[in-house]
Chains A and B, each alone.
Chain A
Amino acid sequence: MPSPRAYFDHNATTPLAPEVLDGMVEVLRDGYGNASSIHQEGQHARRLVDHARRAVAALLHADPREVVFTSGGTEADNTAIFGAIAATALPRKHFVTTTMEHPAVLHAADALESQGVGVTRVPVSGSGVVSPEAIRTAITPETVLVSVMHANNETGAIQPIAEIARVCRDAGVLLHSDAVQSVGKIPVDVRELGVDFLAVSGHKIGAPNGVGALYMRKGVACAPLLHGGKHERGRRPGTENVAGIHGFGIAASVADSALLSKANYIEHLRDEFEMSLMDRIPMVRVNCAQSPRLPNTSSLCFPEVDGEPMVIALDLSGFAVSSGAACSSGSVEPSHVLTAIGLSRQDARSCIRVSLGPSNTREQVMALVESLTAAVAHLRRLSPTMTSQGNR
């Protein structure tokens, strides 16, 4: 592997924060109690879990009792969606979401549909932002739950969750938000947002894979997805992943401290990156540039250049970036998010995503600009053959 490498794929996953690693190693070595046990070892584990719960709650401005630990963002999304629908007594049920959600929500919607629940997938405009009015229109008397992501994983576009929450409150329906991408990058306050559920993932904020959380507003009804013991107040059975949860708590505290100044630093880097690119490369477009965006995310379209070889060439030069979302790599379809915001299939295939993190430096960003400029120029030189689909 060429080194040194520069990692620009923080929306896919993040490196473990050093504090998290140290804390987890300690727990893995010495903290072997089961948090449900009566004895000292168990009490120690319980303390670690509760401490982490307070840290995650603090990051979300929630009450610790409103935080349920899960195995990650996908389980948190599924718990909110299936749990809220199942806990409702309506004879006919309806679910509203958008076309640009993460598969954890979109495929949950497909599954609901196959169980007979009505589903409306609200389209998104070219700005990458869903309009609260469109959500209002989609809500029917049978609607139980609305699910709209807080920030999109590919474009970084931030959705008007607080306004959508008002729409939902007016209509008397619940609101879930997949905040996997926004938490840790911008301030997230569940009270200000007015959501009933909110999904968080550990590994997007410097914790390990395999741990996440669901915020469940106090008093909201939600049936558990899994059946088992009385862990997490009966809301999520299974012996707690104490080390992972402990790491998640530390990561939440690290993310919470100086969040705004880190966000400002990253945004400044990102903007400088985009400005330099536009100076250097003709015909580059930044998707959703006019919309409120996550400070770290840059979704770039290089018309008539194939994104796949661009990502490979950059990887071979030591830069980790992605084409579309990591989950869709290797599949035929161009990113559903980019087509949802109105890009043609061809343009969607010409996009790459650069997502920065606090450890990225200006030198790395400028080196990426150099390599990207060279890669695009090389591909455009080749492009007469690239685009001659079948004219031999």
Chain B
Amino acid sequence: MMREKDGIANDNSSRIAVAMSGGVDSSVVAALLHSQGRNIVGMTMQLWNQRRLPEVASEGATGRCCSLDDVYDARYVASQVGIPYYVVNFEDRFEQHVVKPFVQDYLEGKTPIPCTLCNNFIKFDQFLDMAASVGAGMVATGHYARIRQDPHSGRWQLLRAVDDTKDQTYFLFGLTQEQLSRTLFPLGEMRKEDVRELGRQLQVPIADKPDSQEICFVPNGDYAAFIDAYLREQGLEAAATEGQILDEEGKSLGRHRGVHHFTVGQRKGIGVARAEPLYVIATEPSSQTVVVGAGDSLFRKRMRVRDVNWISIAKPEQLLRAQVRIRNRHRPSFADVWVNKSENRVEVLFDDPQRAITPGQGAVFYQDDLVLGGGWIDQALSDEA
């Protein structure tokens, strides 16, 4: 299962840095690689100071990323496994490249995915640099995804995890060839139950710890409260994004307290009562308006995707047939992908209308298990071409 990667011009290429979050998956990765006799070093990335923004901190919340408990767990696992272990501090860069864009996207009416930004700018960028700095040419993480090298073209390819319920390729569409060539995903071939079982076999002390689900720096998943608190901390007033709620004909139905409280497809908390259920159809950042309508209006066939990164294939000439996923739990759906020759964007035309195409989310292109590439949803387009 484990492939040897070579071609790393580094004396210590045999050393592997394992990104340890304190969770089960990365702990098992560390224990597994160590049991295989690999020369590994464990590292936990300190990304966000949970003591910031005390007003959104939940009582007794534990198990979140970067909490002291998680660092404690990771350190404990590393000591039980018997590997050197360090905490590295990436808080500055995390705030700059993940938290600020996250806040900015919400204020612009988008629904961002900070995990992808974190993968692009932190886990597979600064962490790779840190690993190289300490003589580790390779990194390993607990992501559920597979990497292989195409024997003919030499191209590194990304594939969905064997365990489809845990597959994380949706968040990995920004990975470059260089990054893939230096990364190991030892869990990509395994099912979650097997990972836990392996953890027990390898006597990983936290093999039964529950999975974390939320965005790590947002306690209880309350994004709007986090954004309000962050803006206050930065000395900015959150009220600046309030505006009108319009129906699809442009008629005003009332006012809202900020576009960052809304996401496309949302039904609860709109604050306008109607006989039939109302959904957020779109958020329009320029006018700070929120457009609401019936559920049917959420379905669109076309969208524009920007900043596309091609992973398993070179940039296609023009038209590509693919299954496209528009959010993490979305089932990839067949579409024609029209590739812009000169720019890094594509237009996607689904065979069937898709519910809630949401600006700021990722669009990831698959051919069965193979991840062809992906980009950021710019906007849904009206159906007539």
A residues sitting closer than 8 Å to B (CB atoms) are 1, 306, 308-310, 312-313, 315-316, 329-332, 378-379, 382, 385-386, 389-390, 392
Structural contact, B134 and A392, CB atoms closer than 8 A: no
Q: How far is the CB of B193 from chain A (nearest CB, A)?
A: 34
B380 at the interface (CB under 8 A from A): no
Structural contact, B129 and A378, CB atoms closer than 8 A: no
Structural contact, A332 and B121, CB atoms closer than 8 A: no
Structural contact, B89 and A332, CB atoms closer than 8 A: yes
Structural contact, A309 and B49, CB atoms closer than 8 A: no
On whether A332 and B92 interact (CB within 8 A), knowing A390-B97, A392-B121, A392-B125, the answer reads: yes
Q: How far is the CB of B232 from chain A (nearest CB, A)?
A: 20
22 residue pairs bridging A and B, Cβ less than 8 Å apart? A306-B133, A308-B88, A308-B89, A309-B88, A313-B133, A313-B134, A315-B84, A316-B41, A316-B84, A330-B71, A331-B89, A332-B46, A332-B49, A332-B91, A382-B129, A385-B129, A386-B129, A389-B96, A390-B96, A390-B121, A392-B121, A392-B125
Structural contact, B89 and A382, CB atoms closer than 8 A: no
In the bound complex, residues from chain A placing their C-beta under 8 Å from that of B134 are 309, 312-313, 316
Q: How far is the CB of B180 from chain A (nearest CB, A)?
A: 15
Quick one: which of A309, A378, A389, A390 contacts B130, CB cutoff 8 A?
A: A309
Q: Which residue of B lies closest to A310 (CB)?
A: B133
Structural contact, B87 and A330, CB atoms closer than 8 A: yes
Q: How far is the CB of A112 from chain B (nearest CB, A)?
A: 22
Tally inter-chain residue pairs, CB-CB below 8 A: 54
Q: Which of A308, A329, A382 has the most CB of B within 10 A?
A: A308
Q: How far is the CB of A161 from chain B (nearest CB, A)?
A: 34
Structural contact, A312 and B86, CB atoms closer than 8 A: yes
Interface residues of B in 126-140 (CB under 8 A from A): 129-130, 132-135
- In the bound complex, how far is the Cα of B121 from the Cα of A379, in angstroms? 19
B244 at the interface (CB under 8 A from A): no
In the bound complex, residues from chain A placing their C-beta under 8 Å from that of B84 are 1, 315-316
In the bound complex, residues from chain B placing their C-beta under 8 Å from that of A330 are 46, 71, 87, 89
- In the bound complex, how far is the Cα of B71 from the Cα of A310, in angstroms? 21
B267 at the interface (CB under 8 A from A): no
Structural contact, B96 and A392, CB atoms closer than 8 A: no
Can you add 15 more A-B contacts, CB < 8 Å, to A312-B41, A392-B125?
A306-B133, A309-B133, A312-B134, A313-B135, A316-B15, A316-B41, A330-B71, A378-B135, A382-B133, A385-B129, A386-B133, A389-B93, A389-B96, A390-B93, A390-B121
Task: Give the interface size bracket for B toward A.
Answer: 20 to 34
B120 at the interface (CB under 8 A from A): yes
Q: Which residue of B lies closest to A387 (CB)?
A: B129
The 8 closest A-B pairs by CB, nearest first: A309-B133, A313-B134, A312-B134, A330-B87, A332-B91, A312-B86, A309-B134, A385-B129
Structural contact, B133 and A316, CB atoms closer than 8 A: no
In the bound complex, residues from chain A placing their C-beta under 8 Å from that of B133 are 306, 309-310, 312-313, 378-379, 382, 386
In the bound complex, residues from chain A placing their C-beta under 8 Å from that of B41 are 312, 316
In the bound complex, residues from chain A placing their C-beta under 8 Å from that of B120 are 392
- In the bound complex, how far is the Cα of B133 from the Cα of A313, in angstroms? 7
Q: How far is the CB of B16 from chain A (nearest CB, A)?
A: 12
Q: How far is the CB of A3 from chain B (nearest CB, A)?
A: 13
Q: How far is the CB of A372 from chain B (nearest CB, A)?
A: 14
Convert B164-206 into 0s and 1s, putting 1 for each residue whose CB lies closer than 8 angstroms to a CB of A: 0000000000000000000000000000000000000000000
Q: Which residue of B lies closest to A2 (CB)?
A: B84
- In the bound complex, how far is the Cα of B82 from the Cα of A1, in angstroms? 9
Q: How far is the CB of B70 from chain A (nearest CB, A)?
A: 13
Q: Which residue of A lies closest to B71 (CB)?
A: A330
- In the bound complex, how far is the Cα of B224 from the Cα of A278, in angstroms? 53
Q: Which residue of A lies closest to B120 (CB)?
A: A392
- In the bound complex, how far is the Cα of B199 from the Cα of A49, in angstroms? 50
In the bound complex, residues from chain B placing their C-beta under 8 Å from that of A1 are 84
In the bound complex, residues from chain A placing their C-beta under 8 Å from that of B46 are 330, 332
- In the bound complex, how far is the Cα of B157 from the Cα of A155, in angstroms? 50
In the bound complex, residues from chain B placing their C-beta under 8 Å from that of A390 are 93, 96-97, 121
Q: How far is the CB of B91 from chain A (nearest CB, A)?
A: 5
- In the bound complex, how far is the Cα of B128 from the Cα of A385, in angstroms? 10
Q: How far is the CB of B30 from chain A (nearest CB, A)?
A: 15
- In the bound complex, how far is the Cα of B87 from the Cα of A309, in angstroms? 11
In the bound complex, residues from chain B placing their C-beta under 8 Å from that of A332 are 46, 49, 89, 91-92
Q: Which of B41, B89, B125 has the most CB of A within 10 A?
A: B89
Q: Which residue of B lies closest to A331 (CB)?
A: B89
- In the bound complex, how far is the Cα of B71 from the Cα of A386, in angstroms? 24
Q: Which residue of A lies closest to B17 (CB)?
A: A312
In the bound complex, residues from chain B placing their C-beta under 8 Å from that of A331 are 89
In the bound complex, residues from chain B placing their C-beta under 8 Å from that of A309 are 88, 130, 133-134
Q: How far is the CB of A344 from chain B (nearest CB, A)?
A: 14
Convert B103-120 into 0s and 1s, putting 1 for each residue whose CB lies closer than 8 angstroms to a CB of A: 000000000000000001
In the bound complex, residues from chain A placing their C-beta under 8 Å from that of B129 are 382, 385-386
Q: How far is the CB of B339 from chain A (nearest CB, A)?
A: 21
In the bound complex, residues from chain B placing their C-beta under 8 Å from that of A392 are 120-121, 125
Q: Which residue of A lies closest to B131 (CB)?
A: A309
- In the bound complex, how far is the Cα of B121 from the Cα of A315, in angstroms? 26
Q: Which residue of B lies closest to A379 (CB)?
A: B133
In the bound complex, residues from chain B placing their C-beta under 8 Å from that of A312 are 41, 86, 88, 133-134
- In the bound complex, how far is the Cα of B49 from the Cα of A1, in angstroms? 30
Quick one: which of B92, B96, B130, B135 contacts A316, CB cutoff 8 A?
A: B135
Interface residues of B in 56-89 (CB under 8 A from A): 71, 84, 86-89
- In the bound complex, how far is the Cα of B149 from the Cα of A133, in angstroms? 69
- In the bound complex, how far is the Cα of B14 from the Cα of A316, in angstroms? 13
Q: Which residue of B lies closest to A313 (CB)?
A: B134
In the bound complex, residues from chain A placing their C-beta under 8 Å from that of B49 are 332
